[in-house]
Structure 1
């Protein structure tokens, strides 16, 4: 899925920024993958260091040692299910960081991005993942919040951080509506396809079993994004006069984001309704950056933050057995809203502080002249399309 993000984002930036954009995703894979094995797994699924809030990073988790089953004689007896789950959860940490990068496309230093990624995943993602994904110890599931595969921990978390970084780095040179068109539409469509394919495993795999819950999650991961494509394209046709392939790809991602927290607890019919709503609302939400004056380059806020909020709150109304329609109570909606708000505020504040410190010390944003020349050559010394001239 993270290479899918790289392609999805890479196709939408300038031709002279595609390498930089994709490198931010690959950098996240390298750094976060290592940190997860060294201490991230322990912070999320280790014995609580702070009950309800944080796991112990040194609780036998160095190198996933507590899953290797090393006996007194030093023999290794790996825990099949535990290691498989640890590997699966690593992908959540990696993609959450990668998603943020879209907000600062065309103007970020790679080294500064890597510093941000390492600090943010440590002080924000790992604790938030403990809150949400540690079903035995995290405060969110113990309180009764339903977030099956990461509406809060992944999408609201990444979207709030993206907004903070967009504010810290400021606007691109010449920022205005229609500042640029995607330089490679097929690349973006390829990325959306890889994302959707991987998302079936992302959502259905969160059940950690082959059963009816995994099956309904799978079907809903088909239904919601399919409906979201239609919702987005209808809005795009009414608003701009033409339905676009980028709109279809963005609509699919918006539907995937919205169904992520709810895929285990909606009937397919309500998943379709959620998809249409998410596609339409996110198609409108991406215009907020022009009205509010922040430069979220690739609409991480409009799709992931807004879509994550929609999906998280939707559970409180339409969730089977817990939503307003079934219980007549707003209690679940209140819990969903509370979890969304806590994650949003925590991630935004921490990301802003981290980003601001990096900007004031080593510098986060490249020089304007380097941005105009192109991030690929000035930062990486490469070109996405090295065409020889005669």
Structure 2
């Protein structure tokens, strides 16, 4: 009944995407001060537990079961009711549905964790847990359903190969809303305490991203292969582009710039990975390096305290990746895709723009309102005097003795 090759590949891809969340924890952990390392890392790791419980209870069902007004699913499969180990995934018809459930769960785990880098050093753990639960219910699950689960955007013809809209645009613009709500840190000049830790996190993210993008084909074929290679090409071109810009401006090649550029390239190619040619992936990588670098510059000029550049890298990377998909997609690569503007698909291009803007505005507004409401029940921000030693004040632990 099952295609064992595809099933084995999807189990591997699921494992790779799971590895990205610890990778994100290391990436963020190295970027903050040494006395706040555990605080930021724990926000990523705790999503592994909380989100898994939520996905099992209601997340999968609200994302992929039924349809309510094209916006959200229903609760027919709450607690995975009615799911049998022998059931096949209906779209592909050759992998167990429980493998698909596990794979999509890993996306749900990392998406809210991405946001945490924006409000690093400022948010109480209790408030974050509440945020983690309600952000998924009100933002992530609806967009998963709208784009991938049979909702109105999917039915309208919007494409998103691996999460440019669902993951990066929503998380990135939620991060911007969070920054504007929680305000600025007491000490904004705190340098990354461990660039090697950032490098380890980047390596795990880059490695896991092959499962993130190539696995989104949900089987092994030529689209899987091109998505895999497009991912590496875009990341490589973006990292070198960022490195060159940094080198020219600072007169020295910055390792941190290279690492940040790689993540920008990975985020930007995500929505288009299975729909564009290899040369276009290289172009997207170059543009990702330039656009995301400029977005970080805009953040600095506007004095937004996005501590770890989540909006500039993930928000703008994902947003621009959707626009690039609308421009460069071609059915010559993926017959099940669409033709972008440069291949005669003006209508498809407009749909992608509308979807990206809708996702950005929706995530921003709902996140800001959500934080206001949460703050009425439990304080969202930590005290100024706690900000430089959150590990001890919030968790009673230290990363370094």
TM-score, reference length from structure 2: 0.90
Q: Does 1:194 align with 2:211?
A: no
Question: What corresponds to 1:367 in structure 2?
Answer: 383
Question: What corresponds to 1:312 in structure 2?
Answer: 322
Gaps of 5+ in 2: 1-19, 89-94, 332-338
Measure the CA separation in 1 of the matches of 2:347 and 2:248: 37
Question: What corresponds to 2:129 in structure 1?
Answer: 114
Question: What corresponds to 2:343 in structure 1?
Answer: 326
Question: What corresponds to 2:175 in structure 1?
Answer: 162
Q: Does 1:376 align with 2:391?
A: yes
CA deviation string 1:212-235 (max 9, x = no partner): 111110110111001101111111
Measure the CA separation in 2 of the matches of 1:65 and 1:358: 31
Measure the CA separation in 2 of the matches of 1:222 and 1:259: 9
Q: Tell me the CA shift for residue 360 of structure 1.
A: 3.4
Does the 8 A contact of 1:317 with 1:324 survive in 2? yes
Q: Does 1:45 align with 2:64?
A: yes
Q: Does 1:86 align with 2:72?
A: no
The number of equivalent residue pairs is 369
Measure the CA separation in 2 of the matches of 1:238 and 1:14: 27
Q: Which runs of 4+ in 1 moved over 3 A?
A: 77-80
Measure the CA separation in 2 of the matches of 1:151 and 1:125: 13
Measure the CA separation in 1 of the matches of 2:253 and 2:106: 33
Q: Tell me the CA shift for residue 204 of structure 1.
A: 0.7
Question: What corresponds to 1:72 in structure 2?
Answer: none
Question: What corresponds to 1:292 in structure 2?
Answer: 302
Q: Tell me the CA shift for residue 280 of structure 1.
A: 1.7
Q: Tell me the CA shift for residue 19 of structure 1.
A: 0.2
Q: Tell me the CA shift for residue 320 of structure 1.
A: 1.2
Any residues of structure 2 matched to 1:1-390 within 5 Å, and which?
A: 1-48=20-67, 50-56=68-74, 58-59=75-76, 61-68=77-84, 77=86, 81-134=96-149, 137-175=150-188, 179-321=189-331, 322-327=339-344, 329-372=345-388, 374-386=389-401
Q: Tell me the CA shift for residue 241 of structure 1.
A: 1.9
Q: Tell me the CA shift for residue 174 of structure 1.
A: 3.5
Q: Tell me the CA shift for residue 270 of structure 1.
A: 0.5
CA deviation string 1:125-158 (max 9, x = no partner): 0011101112xx2222221112100000000000
Measure the CA separation in 2 of the matches of 1:183 and 1:344: 32
Does the 8 A contact of 1:199 with 1:256 survive in 2? yes
CA deviation string 1:213-260 (max 9, x = no partner): 111101101110011011111111122222211111111110000010
Gaps of 5+ in 1: 70-76
Question: What corresponds to 2:14 in structure 1?
Answer: none
Measure the CA separation in 1 of the matches of 2:400 and 2:370: 34
Measure the CA separation in 2 of the matches of 1:288 and 1:146: 29
Q: Tell me the CA shift for residue 275 of structure 1.
A: 0.3
CA deviation string 1:301-322 (max 9, x = no partner): 0001110111100012111141
